[in-house]
Amino acid sequence: MADKKKTGKGTKRPLGISTKSVHGGEERHKYGDSVTVPIVQSSTFIFRDENDIREYTSGHKKRFEYARYGTPTTRTAELKLAELEGAEDAQLFDCGMSALTSALLANLSMGDHLVITRDVYKKTLQFAKNDLPRFGIEVSIAEPCAEAVGEAITPRTKVIFSESPTNPYGHVVDLGKIGKIGKKAGVLVFLDSTFATPYNMKPLDYGVDLVIHSATKYLAGHNDIMAGVVLGNADLVGKIRAYQKTTGGCTDAHSAYLLIRGLKTFALRVERQNRTTMEVAKYLEKHPRVKRVWYTGLPSHPCHEIAKKQMKGFGGCMSFEVDATLSGVQRFLRNLKIAQMGPSLGGTETLITHPASITYYDMTRKQRYDIGMTDQLVRLALGVEDVEDIIADLEQALAKI
């Protein structure tokens, strides 16, 4: 679907994000006149005769060949995501980690240098620190601010990788500044925008070259599938697609269908999650059993001003420190009736995690405290339940501390 529709007066105006969520990337008339996108569950696609093969191999005809290279259902999901992000093209992966590791490996070679910001997703940092050097790729870990990133660039730097906002503290990087640093140095800028989503932030407008999402989260939105996506200009995405064709990490049609279905309500869900999270953050900030709240939407957050500049909403995730001992925090978590304890975020169900015992279980207490992961810290990822019920649930569980 074109990005712009003619209005009655013949002028063109961009379609809204909800319209793009529902119709983006889809053919108007689908197989069997269905209104929904068909699940084309086929590992291979047949050729009619030698002319059919020739037309395809000579590049005169676009069609599907083998499911590792894409299917009609996965391609529809990609086109819908590209419209939502305002990108020329998108490539789907079977999870966020394969999207981001493929993006890096497709663009870095032996002798190249990567600058990555310190507070990216734990597994992303682990990959950069432990795996990339095995291939002769040098990695510098920079503080998550444009100045530190700029200082870490060397003549061999090929990619800057950052994330915004980050987890669990909601740190925000200034995209405009990082975009400019990348352009000036001739270095590609990749940004993991999972926590922001294309509803709240459009990194490509700020000079970011490649946006990456764990589509497992807000994009699919129902805590039921794994998926990942990279989005950017056709050349860059094409390079990553070519890499995926040989290394795999492709999505199947069923997951792509669930992603498409989840995306139909993407704007509705994220708008709701933005509002609910803001309300809950304000409620918790005043609660006597809460020491501190980290939510970029609150003026008390150190990155609030940058977030306001580059984000339309502040997302569905926040963290807070409970004013209690470790066993008091555990009692609070145990007594929640709506929020459920588990990793992940962005789905319809509200999830709460205790980083000290889940994400960072393998660190000593000292190591955790050195990076700010106290026993009292919890992360709350809001679903789409009624905000009054979430607040009442938190209230009764905090009262049990």
- Residues designated as active site: 68, 121, 192, 217
Nearest to 231 by CA among 262, 273, 196, 193: 193
Residue 117 in contact with ligand PLP, rule: CB under 6 A: no
**How long, in residues, is the chain?**
401
Instruction: In whole angstroms, give the CA distance from residue 193 to residue 214.
Output: 8
Question: Minimum distance from CB of 102 to ligand PLP (Å)?
Answer: 12
Q: Which is nearer to ligand PLP, 83 or 192 (CB)?
A: 192
Say which amino acid occupies 283. Y
Q: What are 354's two structure tokens? A: 């205790």
Instruction: In whole angstroms, give the CA distance from residue 161 to residue 7.
Output: 40
Size of the site for ligand PLP (CB under 6 A): 13
Instruction: In whole angstroms, give the CA distance from residue 356 to residue 130.
Output: 22
Question: Minimum distance from CB of 32 to ligand PLP (Å)?
Answer: 32
Q: Which is nearer to ligand PLP, 290 or 350 (CB)?
A: 350
Residue 221 in contact with ligand PLP, rule: CB under 6 A: no
What sign has the CA pseudo-torsion 170, 176, 182, 188?
positive
Contacts of 317 (CB under 8 A, 6+ apart): 165, 167, 170, 195, 277, 345, 379, 380, 381, 382
Instruction: In whole angstroms, give the CA distance from residue 331 to residue 86.
Output: 45
Cα atoms in the 13 Å half-sphere on the side-chain side of 7 = 6
Q: Which stretch binds ligand PLP (CB under 6 A): 93-101, 200-208, 289-297, 319-327?
A: 93-101
Q: Which is nearer to ligand PLP, 97 or 290 (CB)?
A: 97
Q: What is the CA radius of gyration of the chain?
A: 22
Residue 244 in contact with ligand PLP, rule: CB under 6 A: no
Among 95, 125, 324, 384, binds ligand PLP (CB under 6 A): 95
Residue 256 in contact with ligand PLP, rule: CB under 6 A: no
Residue 169 in contact with ligand PLP, rule: CB under 6 A: no
Question: Minimum distance from CB of 51 to ligand PLP (Å)?
Answer: 41
Residue 96 in contact with ligand PLP, rule: CB under 6 A: yes
Question: Minimum distance from CB of 95 to ligand PLP (Å)?
Answer: 3
For residue 325, the 8-state DSSP code is -
Question: Minimum distance from CB of 228 to ligand PLP (Å)?
Answer: 5
Instruction: In whole angstroms, give the CA distance from residue 369 to residue 356.
Output: 9
Say which amino acid occupies 19. T
Instruction: In whole angstroms, give the CA distance from residue 73 to residue 43.
Output: 12
Residue 351 in contact with ligand PLP, rule: CB under 6 A: no
Residue 214 in contact with ligand PLP, rule: CB under 6 A: yes
Q: What are 271's two structure tokens? A: 């708008």
Q: Which is nearer to ligand PLP, 53 or 358 (CB)?
A: 358
Q: Which is nearer to ligand PLP, 76 or 353 (CB)?
A: 353
Question: Minimum distance from CB of 248 to ligand PLP (Å)?
Answer: 15
Output the residue with the shortest Cβ distance to ligand PLP.
Answer: 96
Among 101, 107, 157, 194, binds ligand PLP (CB under 6 A): 194
Q: Which is nearer to ligand PLP, 251 or 276 (CB)?
A: 251
Among 37, 97, 175, 189, binds ligand PLP (CB under 6 A): 97
Instruction: In whole angstroms, give the CA distance from residue 376 to residue 119.
Output: 19
Q: Which is nearer to ligand PLP, 237 or 397 (CB)?
A: 237
Instruction: In whole angstroms, give the CA distance from residue 36 to residue 27.
Output: 10
Q: Which stretch binds ligand PLP (CB under 6 A): 95-103, 128-136, 242-250, 351-359?
A: 95-103
The answer to whether 221 and 262 are in contact (CB under 8 A) is yes
Among 116, 121, 203, 315, binds ligand PLP (CB under 6 A): 121
Instruction: In whole angstroms, give the CA distance from residue 260 to residue 72.
Output: 12
Q: Which stretch binds ligand PLP (CB under 6 A): 76-84, 188-196, 245-253, 320-328?
A: 188-196
Q: At what angle do helices 253-264 and 72-85 cross, to 10 degrees?
A: 40
Instruction: In whole angstroms, give the CA distance from residue 56 to residue 124.
Output: 38
Residue 162 in contact with ligand PLP, rule: CB under 6 A: no
Residue 228 in contact with ligand PLP, rule: CB under 6 A: yes
**List of residues contacting ligand PLP (CB under 6 A):** 95-97, 121, 163, 167, 192, 194-195, 214, 216, 226, 228
